[in-house]
Amino acid sequence: MGYITGGFLKAFQLLGTGDPETYSAVFTTLKVSSLSIAASLIIGIPAGFFLGYREFRGKRQVRTFVDTLLALPTVVVGLLVYAFISRRGPFGNLGMLFTIPGIAVAQTVLVTPIVVSLTATAIEGLDERMRVTLVTLGADRFRIALASLKEAQFAVLAAAVTAYGRAISEVGVSMMIGGNIKWHTRTITTAIALETGKGEFSMGIALGIVLLLLAFIVNWGLIMLKKRA
């Protein structure tokens, strides 16, 4: 137990003194997750709204496919994205491999199905009488869509929080696409895996504490928004 206690003490020391290596992984994680979440929301919310709001042929099959993607292994996503952005891939000339944008693209592929599926579920769960009432009042399709999104705003926010939690906690994509390069593409999760494997337990604990704090802050923000509303 002594090495665990010592690890926690040194972890707080690293965080308190602003250890550059520790905070480099933290800032890289924030950059990557912010880019991937922004892209996934831009793509996922309209797609999820359309999937939940409209009726069309093959909708059940599309919904099943999207729900299946929720369990997509991170290493499979990393493998597919790697194949596309490596030098021999169709987008190899963009030079995205082992870069922050490259990791963000892979994480976007990973978390967008979460946003689409949960947004569609939120829209499908709305009271049908609301739509009928809006039509009766003369609202056009655009206003009906905005009203539906507003009604389901907290469920959509919950989808965003869930996707963010998946993005900041995954390892496979960051390792395969980013390469775990120190001071460049090393994220919190890849740093934890590396430092713990090297026996640097204290740095692993320090980064684990930061990861838990990030998850807590995001969820706390969602709770505050609900209370204010």
Q: How confident is the model at residue 47 (pLDDT cuts 50, 70, 90)?
A: very high
% residues pLDDT > 70 (the chain): 95
User: pLDDT value at position 2?
Assistant: 60
Closest CA to 161 of 3, 37, 59, 57: 37
149 pLDDT above the threshold of 90:
no
- What pLDDT score was predicted for residue 80? 92
Q: List the domains of the chain with CATH numbers.
A: 6-228 (1.10.3720.10)
The model's pLDDT over 77-92, given as tens digits with 9 standing for 90+, comes to 999 999 999 888 889 8
Quote the pTM value.
0.86
Q: Model confidence at 26, in pLDDT bands (50, 70, 90)?
A: confident
